[in-house]
Amino acid sequence: MKLGRKMAFTAIVTMTLAVPPAVTGAQATSTTDATAVTYAALHPSVAQIHAFNAGATPSQNAAIGQQLRRLPGGVRIGARQIAYYNGMVVYDVGPASLSDCPSGFFSGQWSCLYADSNNAGRMLKFQDAGYLQSLVPYNFDNMTSSWANTRGQNAYLHDTPTGGGYALCLAGNSHSTSIPNNDTAGSIYLAKSTSGC
């Protein structure tokens, strides 16, 4: 896992300098994914960190600190956002909206989970395909109430943090303001397939 993320990080640096090459291998997602959180954004200056702090409410700043203590190793990349694993996961303390799950060459393509219905509240967004990711480290176990998926490929929500129970398919290039199994999902798997939902 660590090796894979280092490879993805290398891809970020490379892709900001040149036309993205075709990515292959276990961690490959799509050619646009790795541009979503830039190298510069992952290395904010002290002044930028102060600006993020000033741009957030006291409760948002408290939530940022709480999450960084819960899962160390994140980088604050905005007033509301923490990037983990070189930008492969972004945690948003909210209030997020549908537009916070973008799709584009520079914004990347994401599978996004919202704590509230109608694509609102806290948000988690993922772009790293091919393995199961627990929602527990983000205090998102049994929280998900709506989703958006701007990747062209499917994602699957599972009942338990280890992938057990139901598998709810989140179709690519789609979103939903509610889910059948409200407040039960424990993990997410970003697939590389576009069919079968």
- Give me the residues that bind Ca ion (CB under 5 A), please: 115, 143, 145, 183
Taking the least distance from each CB to Ca ion, the nearer of 28 and 135 is 135
Amino acid found at 50: H
CB of residue 115 vs Ca ion: minimum separation in angstroms?
5
Omega prior to 95 cis, within 30 of 0? yes
CB of residue 53 vs Ca ion: minimum separation in angstroms?
27
Closest residue to Ca ion using C-beta atoms: 145
List of E strands, the chain: 75-76, 81-84, 89-96, 103-104, 108-109, 111-116, 120-126, 132-134, 146-149, 155-158, 167-170, 174-176, 187-190
Taking the least distance from each CB to Ca ion, the nearer of 111 and 145 is 145
CB of residue 13 vs Ca ion: minimum separation in angstroms?
36
According to DSSP, residue 142 is labeled: T
Taking the least distance from each CB to Ca ion, the nearer of 53 and 117 is 117
CB of residue 187 vs Ca ion: minimum separation in angstroms?
16
